Amino acid sequence: MDFDLPKEVALVKRTVRDFAEKRIAPLVPEMEATQKFPVSLIKEMGELGILGLITPPEYGGSGLGYLARMVAVEEVSRISAAVGVSLQVHHMGVATLVDFASEEQKQKYLPPLSRGEYLGTCAITEPTGGSDLLGMCSSAVSRCDGYLINGRKCFITNSHLCKAPIFVAKTGEGPKGISAFVVDADTEGFAYGREEHKMGLWGANTGELIFNNCRVPKENLIGDEGDGMKVALKIISEVGRAGMAATALGILQASFEEAVKFAKERTLYGKPISNLQAIQWNIADISAQLDSSRMLCYRAAWLKDAGRDCSIETTMAKTYVTESALQCSKKALEIHGGCGTMMEYNIQRFFRDAMVCISAGGTSEIGKLVISRAALS
């Protein structure tokens, strides 16, 4: 067995770490203060090529694959999980087009997404919920020249930063009654709704997309009518959950680094607190959970690149790593004592960010449902 990353992926990891430390870290204070995404960063990410990691070269990407995407989201999230989650949801939009779109749709939408003209998104969740796809209310009624869309999507990452959102709506009843579409933002009847405020991931744009008698042409249907459930499940389970796992992995890595740094620097009773067993045990727990999380994440991405079924492994990674990020950022925060609750220290941000990762892409309970079904089958 070879546990080393492939050489080109190791280079991606080093490069994105460098980029995140130099170009993203200085933006974090402003993102925390304003809760706004730094729009200029989109173009920079496009120039670096991390928006096109899973986009084939013929559409302006590098096609380096899902393991490269995993380490890129991890490294970005180590510095800013808000940018990390934006990047990973962008990839969800891209993956939908790469896997299911027509050649014309790929030609039209993938190159600008790779260049960073705007961020991608994949809008599924509605006020009625996200995991219960059949419970959605948005409708797409067939008209002679296309579809008439009505409905509202919420909790959509990159909602206001995306000029061509991908979404699903009901074209009938039952599992085959859902279809996927892409809509150009300047289409009549489409509007960006309110921006939503989260307890963490400040600076990641989250909000509503509103369809009010929005006429979408037939050529904007992704795949065939009735493919929406298949599209949504594949993209959520194989791309979205892997992306949330990568985001949480970055938070976990950052929490580990902050915990170790603080424990070695902070002295009590004349010695660094890293000399205290109570601190050492917590550091050991964080270290082991970080390592196991990374193994789960990389394996899931490796399976995806190999073209093998990875939905269970990805769900396992998402569920375990987001929970680990929450537990470990809490431990790291507690190692900081009272300082950990101060806004001047990054660890409080990691803890808040980790909490938001729990429900994104399906709650831990949904994750456990998927994992246990596979285990018991």
Partner 1 sequence: MAQKKSKLHELEIIVCIKPVPDPRKWDKLKLDPETMLLNRSQVPPVINALDLNAIEQAMQIKETNGGKVTVVTMAPPDAADQLQEALALGCDQAYLLSDIAFAGADTLATARCLAAAIKKIGRIDLVFCGAYSLDGSTSQVGPQVAELLEIPDLTHVVKLQIEGEGVKAECKTESADVIFESQFPALITFDREVNQPRLPGMVGIRRAKDISVVKWNAADLGINTDQVGLKGSPTQMLNVFTPTIGRKGEILQGSALELTSQLLSKLRTEKLLQ
| Residues near partner 1 (CB under 8 A) | 7-8, 10-12, 15, 18-19, 47-50, 52-53, 57, 61-64, 68
Name the helix (H) or strand (E) containing 191.
Answer: strand 190-195
For partner 1, give the closer residue by CB, 12 or 136: 12
Q: Rounded to the nearest whole angstrom, what is the least distance from the CB of residue 75 to partner 1 in the complex? A: 12
Q: Rounded to the nearest whole angstrom, what is the least distance from the CB of residue 14 to partner 1 in the complex? A: 8
Angle, alpha carbons 338-344-348 (nearest 5°) = 65
Q: Rounded to the nearest whole angstrom, what is the least distance from the CB of residue 62 to partner 1 in the complex? A: 4
For partner 1, give the closer residue by CB, 48 or 369: 48
Q: Rg of the Cα trace of the chain?
A: 21
Q: Rounded to the nearest whole angstrom, what is the least distance from the CB of residue 68 to partner 1 in the complex? A: 7
Q: Rounded to the nearest whole angstrom, what is the least distance from the CB of residue 9 to partner 1 in the complex? A: 9
Q: Give every CB contact of residue 174 below 8 A, 6+ residues apart in sequence.
A: 134
For partner 1, give the closer residue by CB, 52 or 228: 52
For partner 1, give the closer residue by CB, 68 or 317: 68
For partner 1, give the closer residue by CB, 67 or 358: 67
Do β-strands 166-170 and 122-123 pair in parallel, antiparallel, or remain unpaired?
A: parallel
Q: Are 352 and 199 in contact (CB under 8 A)?
A: yes
E strands within 73-145? 122-123, 139-143
Q: Rounded to the nearest whole angstrom, what is the least distance from the CB of residue 64 to partner 1 in the complex? A: 5
Write the burial class of residue 44 (CB in 10 Å: 0-12 exposed, 13-18 middle, 19+ buried).
middle
Q: Rounded to the nearest whole angstrom, what is the least distance from the CB of residue 10 to partner 1 in the complex? A: 8
For partner 1, give the closer residue by CB, 45 or 209: 45
For partner 1, give the closer residue by CB, 4 or 188: 4
User: Cα(189)–Cα(186) distance, rounded to whole angstroms?
Assistant: 9
Three-class SS state of 137: coil
Three-class SS state of 187: coil
Phi, psi of 143 (to 5 degrees): -120, 170
